[in-house]
């Protein structure tokens, strides 16, 4: 018998979400109301061709009767008030009504469909919302597919597996809900629904900034041999007492606050009048906004000033205005013509993710040139503008003035260069304050609860938080997939009817400034580690090496990612004949006596370059282990690679960089997957 947590919480959540209707009021004798799991709320999608198990809660000993799609089922609540009942597998169809009664109360869930259910999970790039995507406005406006449904699992951590589904329940595809759903999951689900012609439901279970071990069951880690030891050794640091955690957080927070106060005391920019409209910024660095400053200024944490001159007409300057900057990462003091008009400075929780909108008084503006100056404090990672171009504008009494385009920047304080680092906020420095990163915590809280539900498959986008640990990830990721499959199989409810729950994932995209010379890269190694999961059956990989952004770890073009996952699903899971569903990928490589390397590829039908030029992104190394760029040409389904400077190559690499230059696709426009390969024994560098 499955235990599903606090019945009152589930019941109230269902009512508030509008997903369960009570037909009769509970009697006084019923201390525990009849309720059903949020998974079976109105608008649910239930997996077709798989046994249907429904569960909920009531008074212990209650006799439960249910009807669904012409079928009846009965159950008796156990001593804890838990009950489960089973319906036979059904074909795709609906809408149907699920009615459950204990003789006194009745719970009704309406408009339920039977079709295919997919889980979308991972960290922030899977959780990236439709409303922030470059196609978001269009997608939200067209969110009206009655055969497509959405459900989100609430964020929750636990040291032990929890069976209760914590969710507001299912929602129809509509503008008021779709915008907050996973963009990748949404584009994937809409695509397969349109091709299949059957109902499709997507369950999102995501949490940004989380490593794969947080999504992996602890028994799988304990079976993980040497590769898992560091992960297991970290668990005690997450399990400190609340008192010790609070003390450590306070200590680090004090250091963080003191540092910010110190660098802003007599800060150079303000002291020298960088906020003034009359300041001469002709020697400042120019850049196109919106973007983060890393590709332009380097990885600067500290204080950076951003300036832009705008010209207003008499009418535009005649009244007050609203200055919209979009998201500024992460703290700011914003000035117009030397006057501070607003700012989200420390301690403003989540400041870097908040849209800036400040009122500019009428007496600050003038006809002619005006200067916007922003003092930005960035404590970690990217800094600068983080929204879409249309989020940046000045709303005057006489129309809008766009603020995207040319800006100027100058570093006032480089924390790395001057102090070695920027002391981070307390919660970021104390592991026990980051329970969402604790090994197994998210599997226990957000995945285990849905393994009792039949599903068609899983799509996954994660890896950023495991950068720098590629060798470990090469074992961890397949272990996680296998553990998930085992968990679903334990319930005997897998919707596909085999042990190999389809698992499709996204390889990390391009990111960071492009290097002019071949380079080593943590993300290149992580991409390679991800491919180790392809050794498992029923696993597919969508290549995204061409849709990333150099200055944003959260690229906004998620549509191609969802489409590529959908193409793989249609081919590998549903049997559609599509030789271009997968990206061209490395099969073998050999070097001839003249030093020409022939790379043989899979899924290479119609191989060509996107720009008509020769293939880019290849490098070769000889015995010295030093890589240099190489020439290449397409030869049917293969590629020939050579360099006159490497007559006897030892190793070849393709797209091996943080942000490689690539242009090779197949006839289906799927980009070629990065790889590296040894051609013969030689130097030790890069062996694998």
* pLDDT tens-place string over residues 496-545: 445 799 999 999 999 988 999 999 999 999 999 999 999 999 999 999 99
Nearest in space to 101 (alpha carbons), one of 30, 168, 152: 30
Reply yes or no on whether the pLDDT at 389 is more than 70.
yes
Reply yes or no on whether the pLDDT at 493 is more than 70.
no
Distance, CA of 43 to CA of 146 (rounded, Å)? 9
Mean pLDDT of 124-131: 96
Q: What would the pLDDT profile of 442-475 be if each residue is shown by its tens digit?
A: 999 999 999 999 999 999 999 999 999 999 999 9
Full strand arrangement of the beta sheet holding 52-57: 35-36, 52-57, 82-87
Mean pLDDT of 381-401: 92
Reply yes or no on whether the pLDDT at 256 is more than 60.
yes
Secondary structure, 3-state, 500-531? CCCEEEECCCCECCCCCCCCCCHHHHHHHHHH
DSSP code string of 276-287: STT---TTSEEE
Q: Select the more confidently predicted residue: 325 or 686.
A: 325
Reply yes or no on whether the pLDDT at 85 is more than 70.
yes
Mean pLDDT of 583-611: 97
* H-type alpha helices, 218-241: 218-222, 229-238
**281 CA to centre of own chain:** 38
Contact indicator for 19, 90 with CB cutoff of 8 Å: no
In this predicted structure, what is the pLDDT of residue 597?
98
Nearest in space to 188 (alpha carbons), one of 148, 152, 132: 148
At 419, the pLDDT band (50, 70, 90 cuts) reads very high
In this predicted structure, what is the pLDDT of residue 681?
76
- Which tokens go with 680? 């013969």
Other residues' Cβ atoms within 10 Å of the Cβ of residue 653: 22
- Which tokens go with 97? 């009504």
Helices 470-490 and 229-238, interaxial angle, to 10°? 80
At 188, the pLDDT band (50, 70, 90 cuts) reads very high
Nearest in space to 467 (alpha carbons), one of 383, 552, 527, 382: 527
- Do strands 457-461 and 503-506 pair parallel, antiparallel, or not at all (unpaired)? parallel
Mean pLDDT of 548-564: 93
Angle, alpha carbons 402-408-410 (nearest 5°): 145
Backbone angles phi, psi at 392, to 5 degrees: -100, 105
Helices then strands (H, E): number in the chain? 16, 36
Mean pLDDT of 2-22: 35
Bridge partners, 392 (sequence order): 325
Backbone angles phi, psi at 534, to 5 degrees: -70, -10
Reply yes or no on whether the pLDDT at 309 is more than 70.
yes
At 387, the pLDDT band (50, 70, 90 cuts) reads confident
- Do strands 167-172 and 651-654 pair parallel, antiparallel, or not at all (unpaired)? unpaired
At 490, the pLDDT band (50, 70, 90 cuts) reads confident
**65 CA to centre of own chain:** 41
pTM attached to this predicted model: 0.87
**E-state strands within 438-562:** 457-461, 503-506, 539-542
Reduced DSSP (H G I as helix, E B as strand, rest coil) percent helix, strand, coil of the chain, to 5: 25, 30, 45
Cα dist. 483→155, 395, 447 in Å?
21, 53, 11
Q: What would the pLDDT profile of 310-358 be if each residue is shown by its tens digit?
A: 999 999 999 999 999 999 999 999 999 999 999 999 999 889 989 999 9
Mean pLDDT of 634-654: 97
Mean pLDDT of 113-133: 97
At 31, the pLDDT band (50, 70, 90 cuts) reads low
Burial zone of 587 (CB within 10 Å; 0-12 exposed, 13-18 middle, 19+ buried): middle
- Which tokens go with 105? 């109360």
In this predicted structure, what is the pLDDT of residue 245?
97
In this predicted structure, what is the pLDDT of residue 682?
66
- 36 half-sphere exposure, CB direction, 13 A CA radius: 29
Reply yes or no on whether the pLDDT at 153 is more than 70.
yes
Please give the domain boundaries of the chain with CATH numbers for all domains: 183-238+433-573 (3.40.50.1110), 268-419 (2.60.120.260), 585-678 (2.40.10)
Residues making up the chain, counted from first to last: 688
In this predicted structure, what is the pLDDT of residue 24?
33
Mean pLDDT of 402-419: 97
Contact indicator for 441, 237 with CB cutoff of 8 Å: no
At 492, the pLDDT band (50, 70, 90 cuts) reads low
Mean pLDDT of 136-159: 97
In this predicted structure, what is the pLDDT of residue 14?
34
Q: Select the more confidently predicted residue: 7 or 607.
A: 607
Distance, CA of 599 to CA of 638 (rounded, Å)? 6
Secondary structure, 3-state, 400-426? EEECCEEEEEEEEEEHHHHHCCCCCCH
Distance, CA of 68 to CA of 90 (rounded, Å)? 10
Mean pLDDT of 650-655: 98
Reply yes or no on whether the pLDDT at 12 is more than 90.
no
């Amino acid at each position: 018998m499955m235990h599903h947590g606090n019945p009152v919480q589930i019941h109230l959540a269902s009512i508030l979400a509008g997903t369960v209707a009570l037909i009769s009021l509970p009697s006084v004798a019923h201390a525990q109301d009849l309720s059903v799991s949020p998974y079976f709320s109105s608008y649910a999608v239930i997996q077709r061709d798989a046994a249907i198990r429904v569960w909920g809660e009531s008074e212990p000993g209650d006799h439960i009767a249910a009807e669904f799609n012409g079928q009846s089922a009965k159950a008796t609540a156990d001593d804890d008030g838990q009950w489960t009942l089973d319906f036979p597998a059904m074909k795709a169809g609906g809408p149907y009504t699920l009615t459950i009664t204990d003789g006194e109360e009745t719970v009704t869930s309406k408009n339920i469909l039977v079709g295919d259910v997919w889980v979308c999970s991972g960290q922030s790039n899977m959780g990236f919302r439709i409303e922030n995507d470059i196609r978001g406005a269009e997608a939200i406006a067209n969110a009206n597919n009655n055969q497509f449904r959405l459900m989100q699992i609430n964020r929750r951590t636990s040291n032990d597996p929890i069976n209760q589904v914590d969710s507001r329940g299912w929602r129809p595809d509509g503008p008021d809900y779709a915008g907050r759903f996973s963009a990748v999951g949404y584009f994937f689900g809409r695509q397969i629904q349109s091709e299949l012609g059957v109902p499709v439901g997507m369950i999102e279970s995501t949490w940004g900034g989380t490593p794969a071990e947080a999504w992996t069951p602890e028994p799988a880690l304990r079976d993980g041999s040497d590769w898992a030891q560091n992960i297991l050794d970290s668990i005690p640091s997450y399990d400190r007492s609340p008192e010790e955690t609070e003390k450590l957080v306070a200590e680090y927070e004090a250091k963080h606050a003191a540092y910010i106060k110190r660098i802003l005391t007599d800060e150079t920019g303000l002291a020298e009048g960088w906020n003034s409209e009359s300041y001469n910024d002709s020697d400042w660095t120019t850049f196109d906004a919106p973007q983060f400053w890393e590709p332009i200024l380097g990885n600067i944490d500290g204080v950076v000033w951003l300036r832009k001159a705008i010209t207003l007409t008499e009418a535009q300057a005649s009244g007050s205005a609203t200055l919209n900057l979009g998201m500024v990462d992460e703290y700011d003091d914003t000035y117009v013509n030397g006057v501070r008009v607003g700012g989200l400075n420390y301690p403003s929780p989540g400041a870097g993710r908040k849209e800036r909108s400040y009122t500019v008084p009428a007496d600050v503006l003038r006809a002619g040139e005006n200067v916007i100056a922003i003092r930005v404090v960035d404590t970690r990672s990217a800094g600068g503008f983080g929204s879409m171009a249309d989020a940046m504008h000045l709303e005057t009494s006489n129309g809008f003035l766009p603020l995207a385009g040319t800006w100027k920047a100058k570093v006032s304080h480089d924390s790395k260069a001057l102090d070695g680092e920027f002391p981070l906020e307390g919660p970021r420095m104390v592991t026990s304050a980051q329970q969402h990163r604790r090994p197994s915590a998210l599997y226990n809280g957000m995945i285990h609860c849905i393994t009792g539900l039949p599903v068609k498959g899983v799509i996954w986008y994660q890896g950023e938080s495991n950068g720098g640990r590629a060798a470990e990830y090469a074992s961890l990721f397949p272990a996680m997939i296998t553990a998930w499959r085992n968990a679903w199989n334990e319930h005997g409810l897998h919707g596909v009817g085999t042990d190999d729950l389809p698992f499709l994932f996204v390889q990390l995209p391009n990111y960071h400034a492009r290097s002019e010379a071949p380079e080593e890269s943590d993300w290149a190694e992580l991409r390679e580690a991800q491919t180790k999961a392809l050794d498992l059956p029923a696993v597919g990989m969508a290549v995204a090496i061409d849709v990333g952004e150099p200055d944003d770890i959260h690229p906004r073009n998620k549509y191609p990612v969802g489409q590529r996952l959908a193409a793989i699903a249609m081919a590998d899971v549903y049997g559609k004949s599509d030789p271009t569903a997968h990206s061209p990928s490395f099969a073998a490589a050999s070097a001839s006596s003249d030093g020409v390397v022939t790379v043989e590829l899979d899924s290479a039908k119609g191989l060509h370059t996107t720009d008509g030029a020769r293939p880019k992104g290849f490098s070769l190394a000889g015995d010295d282990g030093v890589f240099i760029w190489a020439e290449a040409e397409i030869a049917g389904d293969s590629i020939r690679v050579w360099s006159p400077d490497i007559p006897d190559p030892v190793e070849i690499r393709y797209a091996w960089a943080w942000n490689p230059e690539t242009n090779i696709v197949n006839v289906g426009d799927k980009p070629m997957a990065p790889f590296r390969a040894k051609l013969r024994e030689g130097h030790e560098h890069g062996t694998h």
